[in-house]
A and B are shown apart, each in its own frame.
Chain A
Amino acid sequence: MAIANRLMSYIKVLAFQGILLFVVAFIQLEEINPLNLGFILLETVVVKAMIVPWFLMYILRKNKITREAEPYVSNFFSLIITTIIVVLTVLLSHTIADSGLDKIFFIAAMSSLFFGMYLIATRRKIITHVMGYLVIENGIFVLSLAVGNEMPMLVNLGIMLDIFASVLILGIFLNKIGDVFKDVDVQQLNSLKDV
């Protein structure tokens, strides 16, 4: 994702991440509980790998967003910086002496968190900001596997609903921005001022 030029490849990577998340979560499951399995299946394969990519493609097409990602920095630097992010999280995870933590998951989660923020900071289009947010969300999904959290089912459900709603609302307003501004570029969003 760091050096891809086309928005379509971003969407494909996001869909692929959704499937990967399902595989990881499936392997991680200690006991196959139909309710849990259905829940994870719905969240990863259906939402993350199908609905969200479809929705992003719909927005791309409807608003006639040009297919280039238009980063502020060159691909070469992006590659270097993402590599540095991964290396730093690996180093960070080695300083943590904790047996309750799955290190590989921790590294994957933290690096996708920081990479998501990097993506938001360095891309010009608003739709790539949403993609950065989705990358962060995926990182959090991995993190929740890493810490093996045991939230009550009801709480879990609330969290999932909220995240889904926020993605939906982001999508709706992204669509509106496409309608109103005719050019989905963050440079358009600078008219709120103090003076």
Chain B
Amino acid sequence: MMLIYLIGSLLLVLALALNRKKWINYGLVGLYLILLWALTIFAAFHINETDLTYFTFDALGVLLLIILSIIAVPAMIHSKIYVEQHQETGGVRAIYFVSIVGLITAIGAGYLANHIAVTWIFAEITTLSASALIYHHRNKLALEGTWKYVFIGAISITFVFIGILFLSLAIHQTGSGNLSYSSLYRNAPSINPFWLQLAFLFIFTGYTVKLGLVPMFTAGVDAKDKAPAPAAALLSSVLMNLGFVGVFRVYTVLSNSSLHHWVNLVIGIAAFLSLFVATVYMLKVKNIKRMLGYSSIEHMALVMLGVAAGGIGYYAAILHIVLHALVKSSLFFQFNQIYRVYKSKSIYQVGNYIKYNPTGALVLLFGFISATAMPPSGLFVSEFLIFRSLFQAHQLWLLLVVLILLTMIIWAFGKNVFKILFTPPVGFDDTHVPIINPIESVSQFVLLALAMYLGLNPPAEFVHLIEESLTLLPQ
């Protein structure tokens, strides 16, 4: 199935690249979505089976693949709306769909890879395909964002590669020179800790570009700012999950060795610094897309704090990345409608949105409630569990500071969102405001409702998948 999926995607990408007809393009994208869903359903029924040597349908991979398939559908619908709104030429549209299909394919394959170097290969492909999406508008600012993303992405991916080389040296000494994750887990206790430490530092630093943590978070925020909103939705949800997968699998190796405490410390420090940085930027940011990007950094920091605290934190971390992906992508999908009304990303020039687009305003309001983890939202459950894990790990001071920082983030986020919703903008001429069809907001409501449902009343299969993906961790 994996072979069919990869070859099928490649053929569809080629066909998309060669075709300039509008409806043929849409048809090919529809075919791709069917292929993606076929793989997802196949994978869900073949848990823990290996396909094509380098791919295993393990619980974590399948869970994230399902989320990817769910988000891919509205991403394509909103891409279609976006492309038509901007009246792109055939060539530009073809490049856009080629890169977005390439991006989704690479992310999905990266989730399922069972060999550390194969994850690396697909992570690199995501950088390349994302670069074409960020450069979509072909202006100065887009070029700047693309250059920064590609350059930092290239450097970071070399860092990951250095880490993999150190790991290969270390695993070689244990007698079995195989870099698949299962072999790494098995040999974890006997690997030389020095090389393991060095490898983890490099791999973690490298994947922070995708994951959005200190030290290399900056390029990701620029990318989300300049990429078209449907693509930015993918960048800030499923692509971040790929970074999480890359880090989490190596983390699992280290947690089975004598370095468990050390690795928790490293992740915890990076996560805390990221939360701090996110707070500082949230307080001063005036660009809506960048604000959403910094909010993603905050959530990933919370996820990594949960992983570092351990215990119930592991469960909460996986739950949190799933719910965050749904909520954040729906907010990004909604952003495009805001832009169509005001033709601006700046909070200064946006306001009284509820008057011009009531349905869209409701999405924004619910999205804000979800993203800040207020009670009816599913993220409330996962954040609460993360706090509990910090409490159980006896990190009271850390918890206190984290809560203070979160309060500041909620204040800044809320101030900006309520300005967008209710305060009339200065000097805004509302004679030519386009009427936005409420149907365009349906997918966002579905995603937000799904996040609420999965958080408050998780189905047994969902809980089982999360628990299954944590079995290799020491409890």
Contacts and interface: CB of A to CB of B under 8 A. Distances in A.
Interface string B127-147: 110010001000011011111
B287 A194 contact: yes
B165 A140 contact: yes
Interface string A40-64: 0000000000000000000000000
Interface string A153-195: 0110011001001100110011011001100000011011111
Contacts of B273: none
Given A151-B179, A177-B143, A195-B284, A100 B124 contact: no
A150 B121 CA distance: 16
A177 B290 CA distance: 23
Interface size class of B (residues with CB under 8 A): 35 or more
Nearest to A193: B287
Contact of B166 (A137, A147, A174): A147
A132 to B, nearest CB: 9
A173 B131 contact: yes
Contact of A162 (B124, B166, B284): B124
Given A143-B165, A150-B168, 15 more contacts: A100-B173, A136-B158, A140-B158, A149-B168, A150-B172, A159-B117, A159-B161, A165-B128, A170-B151, A173-B131, A173-B150, A177-B147, A192-B226, A194-B284, A195-B284
Contact of A148 (B125, B147, B172): B172
Nearest to B177: A150
Interface of A: 96, 98, 100-101, 113, 120, 126, 129, 133, 136-137, 140, 143-144, 147-151, 154-155, 158-159, 162, 165-166, 169-170, 173-174, 176-177, 180-181, 188-189, 191-195
B286 A158 contact: no
A189 B286 CA distance: 20
Contacts of A165: 124, 128
B382 to A, nearest CB: 28
14 contacts: A98-B173, A126-B147, A133-B158, A140-B158, A155-B54, A159-B117, A159-B121, A166-B154, A169-B128, A169-B150, A191-B140, A192-B225, A195-B285, A195-B287
Contacts of A154: 54
Given A177-B143, A191-B144, A147 B165 contact: yes
B121 A158 contact: yes
Contacts, number: 117
A interface secondary structure, majority: helix
B112 to A, nearest CB: 15
Given A133-B155, A189-B144, A155 B121 contact: yes
Contacts of A144: 165
B162 interface: yes
Closest 10 CB pairs of A and B: A147-B169, A162-B124, A158-B121, A149-B168, A194-B285, A155-B117, A166-B154, A195-B286, A189-B144, A192-B222
Contact of B154 (A133, A147, A151, A155): A133
Nearest to B120: A159
Interface in B296-347: none
Contact of B135 (A137, A147, A173, A191): A173
Contacts of A177: 143, 147
Contacts of A140: 158, 161-162, 165
Nearest to A167: B154
B118 interface: yes
Contact of A192 (B131, B144, B151, B195): B144
Contacts of A169: 128, 131, 150
A173 B131 CA distance: 10
